[in-house]
Amino acid sequence: MSSFQGQMAEYPTISIDRFDRENLRARAYFLSHCHKDHMKGLRAPALKRRLECSLKVHLYCSPVTKELLLTSPKYRFWEKRIISIEIETPTQIPLVDEASGEKEEIVVTLLPAGHCPGSVMFLFQGNNGTVLYTGDFRLAKGEAARMELLHYGDRVQDIQSVYLDTTFCDPKFYQIPSRAECLSGILELVRGWISRSPYHVVWLNCKAAYGYEYLFTNLSEEFGLQVHVDKLDMFRNMPDILHHLTTDRATQIHACRHPKAEEYFQWNRLPCGVTSKNRIPLHTISIKPSTMWFGERTRKTNVIVRTGESSYRACFSFHSSYSEIQDFLSYICPVNVYPNVIPIGTTMDKVIEILKPLCRSSQSIEPKYKPLGKLKRARTAPLDSEEEEDDLFDDPLPVPLRHKVPNQQTLHPEVFPVPAVSQNQPQKLTQSTECFKVENMQTSLRTNFIDCEESNSESEEELQVPASSPADPGPVTHQQKAEAEVPQWEVFFKRKDDITDEGLENLPSSTEGGGLSVTKAFK
């Protein structure tokens, strides 16, 4: 659960992912994605009054986030005040104090965050330096090196501060299976079940219809079946997703939801109420994507684990592991790092201590810019693989085209600034569930992972209703930008082709999101 209070020390006149209290005085608002712990105050009466009294305050976000937000009537009052910014397009934004007339300019660039459709990181550039706000993110190792706009000419941008998603910033969460590995296990499980007969069905026990589109679209493509969901209105202008979903209950893959879905399933009823097809009883299994539950395991386990006679868990993470955070920070070498989340079971002080050696003063390796090559379908890891592989390329990563220019001595402070710690941080509770391993489980890909926890927890997703580089053409102003007709959701996180891949007051928060063989083991 995000503990970020909305304001950055470098640019206090803007607010990000928080819309109450002191944030009501902001000159501009930014929303990284539509999860409710990043939307506090977004539809509060106080903010509505602020908009009624102001002509210049706007909310900036990605096109997909705008589309998702406006599908809810509760947020329609924002319609004329939302400005969507295309991904990887430096955009100049005026920050005007309407009382005094004081004005400053900043340039903001949206970068894919890999968390969920529409999720972005914000790169701010202005008189107070370059600052990166990650929001919630999951980036595989090496992805930062391929983000062109994190670079200035032939070197990494000089980033003053990073406001970081630290959900799994703990060495005990060193490595978490990638989305591709989770998908591989789910595909194998689903294939083995639905191939038995047309009356064998699968229920994906997801706490929300928003955030799991990666699974839905890939399952649909693999088996030529649409996934049953409760509503389609969220994706009415996103054909890439809409094509794979249906409200027709006569399908073998379901992701429908009901407040008492667990009870329904115990009586062999899907949340949509279906119990038979052509009067023939259905045989149903449930698959629950999560990571929090897996973090409680003390023994080696698998990416897919059987937890009951007809229920399974799948380790599916929306957030970067410790090693992925380490890789990210080691590459961009910021001066300061400020945690946005306190991991379960630890404290802010401990997180800061972990982050300290990852800041610029402790880095000695110079990052190299590796432009993204042609994407390929993920290949299977070898049997003796001991860690995650970065298989975006057919062959090993190409020799970098450009090298970072050595930093000047003045850019290496020796002191690690300690950010202010907000009080009364919410603490999360973990669950304890007995785990039953699948009998005769065959592991086709053997890899060991450290236990991991997911902030997309059991109680989470309840859905109820840069200054430009010399070669760049320069930032565009928001008045000049024309919005795309169809939001391209796939740029926000990788699809099946990449091994690294990974409505709204009541949209999810970012906290939790027999004889069948499964893939990848971790511990």
Distance CA 388, CA 450 (A): 12
DSSP per residue over 314-358, as a string? EE--SS--HHHHHHHHHHH--SEEEES---TT--HHHHHHHHGGG
- Cα angle for residues 171, 172, 174 (degrees, 5° grid): 60
* Inter-CA distances, 205 with 228, 393, 509, 516, Å: 12, 33, 16, 19
The pTM score is 0.70
pLDDT of residue 155 exceeding 60: yes
Q: CB neighbours of 338 closer than 8 A, spacing ≥ 6?
A: 161, 162, 163, 164, 419
Residue ranges of E strands in 188-334: 200-204, 227-228, 245-246, 253-254, 276-277, 280-281, 283-290, 301-302, 304-306, 311-315
Instruction: Judge contact between 332 and 152, C-beta under 8 A.
Output: no
pLDDT digits (tens, 9 = 90+) for 453-479: 333 333 333 333 344 444 454 666 554
pLDDT of residue 441 exceeding 80: no
pLDDT of residue 261 exceeding 90: no
Instruction: Judge contact between 301 and 314, C-beta under 8 A.
Output: no
Beta bridge partners of residue 254, listed in sequence order: 203, 228
> Residue 269 carries which side chain, given as an amino acid letter?
R
- Cα angle for residues 218, 223, 229 (degrees, 5° grid): 65
pLDDT of residue 63 exceeding 70: yes
DSSP 448: -
Q: How confident is the model at residue 369 (pLDDT cuts 50, 70, 90)?
A: low
Q: How confident is the model at residue 237 (pLDDT cuts 50, 70, 90)?
A: confident
Highest mean pLDDT among 3-7, 150-154, 207-211, 242-246: 242-246
pLDDT digits (tens, 9 = 90+) for 294-329: 766 666 678 999 999 999 999 888 899 999 999 999
Q: Among 59-73, 86-100, 112-126, 165-179, which is the least confidently predicted range?
A: 165-179
Distance from CA of residue 465 to its chain's centroid? Answer: 22
Element housing 402 (H / E): strand 402-403
Instruction: Judge contact between 255 and 506, C-beta under 8 A.
Output: no
Q: Domains along the chain?
A: 7-173+321-362 (3.60.15.10), 179-315 (3.40.50.12650)
pLDDT computed for residue 187 by the predictor: 97
204: its two tokens: 């994906």
106 Rama class: left (phi>0) / alpha (psi -120 to 50) / beta = beta
Instruction: Go through the chain and tell me how many residues it has.
Output: 523
Q: Are strands 82-84 and 59-61 parallel, antiparallel or unpaired?
A: parallel
Q: Hunting for tokens 């994605």 — which residue is that?
A: 33
**465 or 256: whose pLDDT is higher?**
256
CB-based burial label for 285 (10 Å; 0-12, 13-18, 19+): buried
Q: Can you give the C-alpha Rg of the chain in angstroms? A: 23
376: its two tokens: 């390929």
Q: Among 81-85, 246-250, 284-288, 293-297, which is the least confidently predicted range?
A: 293-297
Find the mean pLDDT for residues 362-369: 55
Q: Hunting for tokens 């924002």 — which residue is that?
A: 78
Distance CA 387, CA 234 (A): 37
Instruction: Judge contact between 33 and 12, C-beta under 8 A.
Output: no
Q: Among 31-35, 75-79, 503-507, which is the least confidently predicted range?
A: 503-507
> Quick check: helix, strand or coil at residue 164?
strand
Q: How confident is the model at residue 129 (pLDDT cuts 50, 70, 90)?
A: very high
